[in-house]
């Protein structure tokens, strides 16, 4: 049963198997408080965002392609009120910093998907709700701190 105040999330990843597993995991553990839509391939992410109108975008980052990481700044500029959670295989402080500096609100290592993704989604949604089109957080950490830019 889907709750009336359920968060709509768009999950985008280039790996169809990972996409299915992650979508299933989110739907199973969110107990109806999350509606997950999945899309494969980063190239059409903005079109998918316009069609689905998610509150949170969960963007899978690939080691073989920098396309998703490179798309974050334009996605952030196009949709400042949508929270962005990046999922990545590479779990180093420098990579996490690059993802957050690109405009993602949170970074979750793919190996921590089952323990860290849902809390990150809830936190990012709360952060995104407080944004205005003129002042938005360049990145937020899970403890609620952020670097603000704009206005």
pTM: 0.80
Residue 80 CB neighbour total at 10 angstroms: 17
Pairing relationship of beta strands 135-140 and 146-150 according to DSSP bridges: antiparallel
Which residue, among 30, 29, 35, 38, has the nearest Cα to 11 in the 3D structure?
38
Structure confidence at residue 65 (pLDDT): 66
The CA distances from residue 89 to 7, 44, 132, 147, 148, in Å, are: 25, 21, 31, 25, 27
CATH assignment at residue 29: 3.40.50.2300
Flag whether 1 is in a domain.
no
Query: Is the pLDDT assigned to residue 136 strictly greater than 50?
Result: no
| Residue 2 belongs to a domain | no
Find tokens 């839509």 and name the residue: 37
Domain assignment present for 140: yes
pLDDT over 70 at 1, yes or no: no
90 DSSP assignment:
-
Query: What is the total count of domains within the chain?
Result: 1
Whether 2 has a pLDDT exceeding 90, the answer reads no
Q: Could you list the residue range(s) of the whole structural domain that residue 116 is in?
A: 7-150
- Judged on CB neighbours under 10 Å (0-12, 13-18, 19+), 72 is buried
pLDDT band at residue 67 using 50, 70 and 90 as cut-offs: confident
Determine the average pLDDT of the residues in 48-67.
86
The pLDDT value recorded for residue 64 is 66
> Does 53 reside within a domain?
yes
């Amino acid at each position: 049963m889907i709750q009336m105040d359920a968060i709509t999330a768009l999950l985008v990843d280039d790996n169809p198997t990972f996409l299915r597993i992650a979508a299933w995991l989110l739907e199973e553990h969110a107990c109806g408080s999350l509606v997950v839509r999945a899309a494969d391939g980063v190239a059409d992410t903005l079109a998918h965002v316009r069609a689905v109108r998610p509150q949170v975008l969960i963007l899978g980052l690939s080691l073989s392609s920098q396309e998703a990481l490179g798309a974050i700044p334009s996605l952030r500029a196009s949709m400042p009120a949508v929270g962005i959670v990046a999922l990545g295989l590479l779990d180093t402080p420098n990579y996490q910093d690059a993802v957050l500096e690109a405009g993602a609100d949170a970074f979750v290592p793919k190996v921590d998907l089952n323990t860290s993704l849902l809390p990150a989604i809830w936190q990012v949604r709360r952060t995104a709700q407080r944004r205005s089109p003129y002042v938005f957080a360049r990145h937020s950490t899970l403890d609620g701190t952020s670097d603000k830019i704009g206005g």
